[in-house]
């Protein structure tokens, strides 16, 4: 039996890409705030007052992961939970002043990190890269519904 060429396996390449991102994130952006935590901060800068479920949907995190991220950010004093006046069972999320400062500081660092991360690509290649990876990511979101069978999908 011959070995498989893993350079033709998207999962293998995605894992390698994620490893490179993780390394750059920890060295250039933050060792304390993770990329998913930054995504939550960013979502709340864009849309203050979202509830936890909606933030999770916006940043592509499942229910248990978003709960843990929200909890950690709250413990760090970067966001507050406020009871929704229209639905007492729901909490709305807002960044604290420290959360806003942290987001601002990390935004500058992420821009520099992204320049390094994408340096091997020309501007046109970067645009194509984003278009293709978004298309695959968007299609993969549809695979999350276990009620739909995967067999026979085009």
Across the range 46-51, mean pLDDT stands at: 96
Radius of gyration of the chain measured on its C-alpha atoms:
18
DSSP assignments along 34-57, one per residue:
-HHHHHHHHHHHHSTT-BHHHHHH
* Domain segments of the chain as ranges: 25-142
Q: Does the pLDDT of residue 66 top 60, yes or no?
A: yes
| Among 9-13, 101-105, 118-122, 139-143, the least confident range | 139-143
Query: What does pTM read for this prediction?
Result: 0.86
- Give domain 25-142's CATH number out of 1.10.10.10, 1.10.230.10, 3.40.50.2300, 3.40.50.920: 1.10.10.10
């Amino acid at each position: 039996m011959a070995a498989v060429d893993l350079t033709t396996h998207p999962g293998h390449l995605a894992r390698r890409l994620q490893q490179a991102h993780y390394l750059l994130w920890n060295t250039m952006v933050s060792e304390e705030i993770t990329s998913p935590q930054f995504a939550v901060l960013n979502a709340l800068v864009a849309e203050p007052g979202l509830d936890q479920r909606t933030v999770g949907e916006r940043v592509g995190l499942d229910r248990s992961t978003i709960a843990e991220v929200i909890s950690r950010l709250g413990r760090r004093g970067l966001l507050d939970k406020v009871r929704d006046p229209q639905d007492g069972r729901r909490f709305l999320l807002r960044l604290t002043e420290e959360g806003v400062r942290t987001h601002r500081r990390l935004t500058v660092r992420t821009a520099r990190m992204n320049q390094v991360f994408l340096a091997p690509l020309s501007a046109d290649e970067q645009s194509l890269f984003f278009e293709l990876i978004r298309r695959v990511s968007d299609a993969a979101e549809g695979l999350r519904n276990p009620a739909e069978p995967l067999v026979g999908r085009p």
